[in-house]
Structure 1
């Protein structure tokens, strides 16, 4: 996210005096604004002799936040991205892997959309277990609704296609240790944790993290959307941070999103229009309420036609 100093040439109001005021509140970039209480910041300007100019500067930064968008990529950059992230991570469900032509690819932000009890969390746990069993690396799991279940992970290990890999308790413990879960109930805490993760992913640390899971992202974002432009800008900033982690560090990032009511009694993915084009891949999951039979369909994919679907059993 752009540092405030870099905005000064285009926005003279964001001068050294304004930057110094912001620095006194530990604000150095547009993202820092997103993570700050703007109302409290506006109140603090009253203590300064140049309060009107500071208020104007805050208004300008808020306008910049409203216009946040992902930088355009040219054809060569898109091709390099596709060629540089070919390694697929199996979901643990063969039919889903076939549908996605290899599973969940590194370097991509993937979103699972579906109503409550549709199997989104089960899929996240299955993918996490599969990554750990096959020694692909570690998994960072951010749980926003107390949905993570170590016991369920343990049972999923028994259903692994590679039972020989977990034949002893010592190996089983090592597999479980590769899945690191942390409860997160606040979007600002999530930002802090993601930045911490980003610092550990620098090449010098030799981090082995291969997958990041946020279940569910909508639980944290929905409450702040009521704050208008600030909330939407914060949501988009979160999406871009997740994409940056995926692309720059070749992670597979998986998030879940619930559904809300729409016109005509239908359901639609939460988070709205500002979010729908952020994920590289959007997958819709539904479940037969009388059985464990689920359906997955593609809503958005870099190179597979939307609408393709598959049925699978949620074990």
Structure 2
């Protein structure tokens, strides 16, 4: 987004006085703004001589972030992008690959939503294992719930190889999966920012798949604590994930848990504002009594909503 100054022409409320207030808290850009505790910032604003103007400026920047979208592309640019990013990465299950017309598409953000114990993390392990086993670049796995299991990954790798592979080969495959443990949304933004820098400036740093398991566990606490701030962070994370996918031709997979709605039925935790952000939205469910799982389309550029497949979870 750049500096706050570049917003003044379109949003006069973000003037030199407002920017001076922000600068006194080391806020020089929209990104800096999102790293702040807005509750504390509003308290400080209340103590100034013009609190309403300052709070209006804070709200204006939140609105800018909420309305942020990727630039419009014309038909030729969309065609070129489709041809460039046509490669898909298998998730290690033929039926899921067929549902997704090849697997997880590079250049796209895919969301996997499902209730607790439906197998979302297992799908992430399976996709990461297959990519690391058959690809030449790295898989970055962002673990937000302390659920990453090297032992489980090794089981998937062995299963996909149809035999127990030697330790050297296993070590080589495991080294391709880079895991980061993240427990708050600001740390996630820091990691995504550093990933962008590495992808742009380190020629030997290659990533083919990025997994965030689970995105909702980081976002929902701030959605509940401060709606406006939380939704701005949600948009910012979504924008960064799509930007990384698009600019570096990476398949991005995030998981989203489900919560009870007012009527008692389950709904995706990230809410309505998130629905339009991912390129692909998938729903996962599971019958634990017989190891049967179902994956259905919630949103896809070329597959009808509601189309589903039944499969058995690997290594269950």
Query: Could you state the TM-score of these two structures normalised by the residue count of structure 1?
Result: 0.92
Q: Secondary structure at the match of 2:295?
A: strand
Partner residue of 2:104?
A: 104
Q: Number of aligned pairs?
A: 313
| Separation in structure 2 between the aligned mates of residue 99 and residue 55 of structure 1, nearest angstrom | 48
Gaps of 5+ in 2: none
Partner residue of 1:254?
A: 253
Per-residue CA distance 1:276-296 (angstroms, 9 max, x = gap): 111000111111120221111
Matches within 5 A, 1:161-200: 161=161, 167-200=165-198
Is the Cα contact below 8 Å between 1:282 and 1:300 reproduced in 2?
yes
Distance 1:113 1:50, change over 3 A: closer
Partner residue of 1:210?
A: 208
Partner residue of 1:280?
A: 279
Matches within 5 A, 1:283-298: 283-298=282-297
Deviation at 1:26, TM superposition (A): 2.6
| Separation in structure 1 between the aligned mates of residue 144 and residue 12 of structure 2, nearest angstrom | 41
Matches within 5 A, 1:51-70: 53-70=53-70
Per-residue CA distance 1:23-53 (angstroms, 9 max, x = gap): 3323222232222112322344467666665
Deviation at 1:264, TM superposition (A): 4.6
1:219 aligns with 2:233: no
Matches within 5 A, 1:81-92: 81-92=81-92
Partner residue of 1:31?
A: 31
Distance 1:297 1:66, change over 3 A: closer
Per-residue CA distance 1:57-83 (angstroms, 9 max, x = gap): 334323434444444444333323222
Q: Secondary structure at the match of 1:160?
A: helix
Gaps of 5+ in 1: none
| Separation in structure 2 between the aligned mates of residue 168 and residue 63 of structure 1, nearest angstrom | 54
| Separation in structure 2 between the aligned mates of residue 162 and residue 2 of structure 1, nearest angstrom | 50
Single out whichever of 110-119 and 199-208 deviates more from structure 2: 199-208
| Separation in structure 1 between the aligned mates of residue 78 and residue 162 of structure 2, nearest angstrom | 35
Deviation at 1:203, TM superposition (A): 5.0
Is the Cα contact below 8 Å between 2:296 and 2:308 reproduced in 1?
yes
Single out whichever of 236-245 and 302-311 deviates more from structure 2: 302-311
1:123 aligns with 2:112: no
Q: Secondary structure at the match of 1:77?
A: helix
| Separation in structure 1 between the aligned mates of residue 227 and residue 63 of structure 2, nearest angstrom | 12
Deviation at 1:298, TM superposition (A): 1.0
Single out whichever of 40-49 and 255-264 deviates more from structure 2: 40-49
Distance 1:54 1:136, change over 3 A: same
Is the Cα contact below 8 Å between 1:66 and 1:230 reproduced in 2?
no
Deviation at 1:147, TM superposition (A): 1.3
Tell me the C-alpha RMSD between the 2 structures: 2.1
